[in-house]
């Protein structure tokens, strides 16, 4: 379903209090004639959710944590915004008849509501990479069956989407995802072993949430993006590549059989790809800093180091293995990152826990690819359980 251009576009933001959600609403605020905010959701940040609902006149506001319902209702007193809470309400929010859904809930928690939006044939801007990592075939089948429109929000996938010539898809040689290398790009293993959560979330280029920032530091984020690209663009695994580009100016590239390499460039500001999806198939103004190549002067590239950053290696292996491996990978990584941020394990323990979870999952017979949402969620629970056991042994 291609959203209409003549009338204001109604929007649902799943995860409006996170980094991508806030950037989405920043763009809405700059072009209020073009967008109408229908629904906003958050996990537990009632104060910010209510503030957003008031500012944008949202019709509905949903908090995922049922215990926060009364707080949200009180915070919205005197407004016309309807308050709701809990997983069921979150799915109902995604199922509302809006033109555009920004799927910005981080992690596997965003899978079910995003799938709900896809099943109704919505235009879904996908900022939640775990939907494709954990449930690639299940999710894409729903998109195809409902005739939904899927627009990638990640800067790398959005870049590929912009330069990929669909009429020449059979002439693609490589899709090359760029990676900044994160804050520990030049650190040795001993230094990374002692890295703190504060150091891991201090990304040199991007302003992101804590979980995604840690994934960038381990380079798991890039591994997840490779898996996501496999499903989004329908190429062979051998056609996907990663290169480290510390300046984060070239966001990704597509190489064609005639030797041409098409790249999308821009400043490292998520409002650029978000604006592209919000206005698609047109474009809209965004306040992102304009690129000045003369000031940057130099763009550098290097191969990723799979020894110092084993998380990327594990993600690539999971894609090759297929079946249950990507779902287990994602589940274990979410548990590992949360444990690291809580100070329960060290930075290098994240990848170790992911690797051991995948090994134990195979030993327990968890090899088949999930065919339904219920199977995805069951496999996700199994992976989290194994990873949680391993976190306790690493403390």
Based on the fold, state whether residues 255 and 161 are members of the same structural domain.
yes
> Rounded CA gap, 114 and 99, in Å?
14
Look at residue 205 and tell me whether its pLDDT is greater than 80: no
pLDDT in tens, 12-70: 999 999 999 999 999 999 999 999 999 999 999 999 999 999 999 999 999 999 999 99
Other CB atoms within a 10 A radius of the CB of residue 222 amount to 26
Q: Which of 192, 210, 191, 190 is nearest to 202 (CA)?
A: 210
Q: Cα angle at 229 between 224 and 230, to 5 degrees?
A: 100
The DSSP secondary-structure symbol of 302 reads: B
Same domain, 126 and 166: no
pLDDT score for 1: 43
User: 187 with 174: CB under 8 angstroms?
Assistant: no
CATH number at 327 reads 1.10.1740.10
Within-domain flag for 388:
yes
List pLDDT tens digits, range 251-291: 999 999 999 999 999 999 999 999 999 999 999 999 999 99
Same-domain check for residues 20 and 133 = yes
Contact criterion met (CB below 8 Å) for 101 and 94? yes
Query: Residue 95 is part of a domain; what is its CATH number?
Result: 3.40.50.720
Q: Are residues 167 and 223 in the same domain?
A: yes
Q: Are residues 368 and 233 in the same domain?
A: no
Where do we find the tokens 């919000």? 278
- The mean predicted confidence, pLDDT, of the chain is 94
Gap between the Cα atoms of 363 and 291, Å rounded? 50
Tell whether 46 and 180 lie within a shared domain. Answer: no
Contact assessment for residue 26 and residue 2, using Cβ atoms and an 8 Å cutoff = no
CA distance 293 to 299: 9
Statement to judge: residues 103 and 175 lie in one domain: no
Structural domain count, the chain = 3
Q: Outline where DSSP puts E strands in 266-342.
A: none
Domain co-membership, 200 together with 149? no
The residue range of the domain holding 68 is: 9-153
Answer yes or no: do 101 and 138 share one domain: yes
Sign of the CA dihedral running 314, 318, 324, 326: positive
pLDDT above 70 as % of the chain? 98
Q: What sign results for the dihedral spanned by CA atoms 233, 108, 26, 251?
A: negative
Residues 125 and 181 in one domain: no
């Amino acid at each position: 379903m291609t959203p209409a251009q003549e009338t204001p576009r109604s929007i649902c933001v799943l995860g409006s209090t996170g980094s991508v959600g806030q950037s989405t609403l920043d763009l809405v605020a700059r072009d209020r004639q073009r967008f109408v905010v229908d629904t906003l959701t958050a996990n537990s940040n009632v104060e910010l959710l209510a503030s957003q609902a008031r500012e944008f006149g949202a019709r509905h506001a949903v908090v995922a944590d049922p215990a926060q319902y009364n707080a949200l209702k009180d915070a919205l007193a005197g407004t016309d915004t309807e308050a709701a809470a809990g997983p069921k309400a979150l799915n109902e929010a995604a199922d509302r008849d809006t033109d555009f859904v920004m799927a910005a809930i981080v992690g596997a928690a965003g899978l079910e509501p995003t799938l709900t939006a896809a099943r109704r044939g919505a235009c879904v801007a996908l900022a939640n990479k775990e939907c494709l990592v954990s449930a690639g075939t299940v999710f894409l089948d729903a998109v195809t069956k409902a005739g939904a429109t899927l627009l990638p929000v990640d800067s790398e996938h959005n870049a590929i989407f912009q330069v990929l010539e669909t009429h020449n898809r059979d002439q693609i040689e490589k899709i090359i995802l760029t990676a900044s290398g994160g804050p520990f790009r030049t650190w040795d293993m001993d230094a990374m072993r002692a890295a703190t959560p504060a150091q891991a979330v201090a990304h040199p280029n991007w302003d992101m949430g804590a979980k995604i920032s840690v994934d960038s530091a381990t380079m798991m984020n890039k591994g997840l993006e490779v898996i996501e690209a496999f499903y989004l663009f329908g190429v062979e695994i051998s056609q996907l590549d990663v290169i480290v580009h510390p300046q984060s100016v070239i966001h990704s590239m597509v190489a064609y059989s005639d030797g041409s390499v098409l790249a999308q460039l821009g400043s490292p500001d998520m409002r650029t790809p978000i604006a592209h999806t919000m206005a698609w198939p047109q474009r809209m103004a965004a306040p992102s800093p304009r690129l000045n190549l003369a000031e940057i002067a130099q763009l550098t590239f290097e191969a990723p180091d799979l020894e110092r950053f084993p998380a990327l290696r594990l993600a690539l292996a999971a894609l090759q293995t297929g079946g249950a491996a990507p779902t287990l990978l994602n589940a274990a990584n979410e548990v590992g990152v949360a444990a690291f941020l809580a100070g329960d394990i060290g930075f290098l323990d994240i990848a170790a826990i992911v690797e051991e979870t995948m090994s134990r999952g195979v030993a327990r017979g968890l090899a088949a690819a999930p065919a339904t949402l219920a199977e995805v969620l069951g496999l996700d629970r199994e992976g989290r359980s194994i990873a949680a056991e391993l976190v306790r042994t690493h403390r």
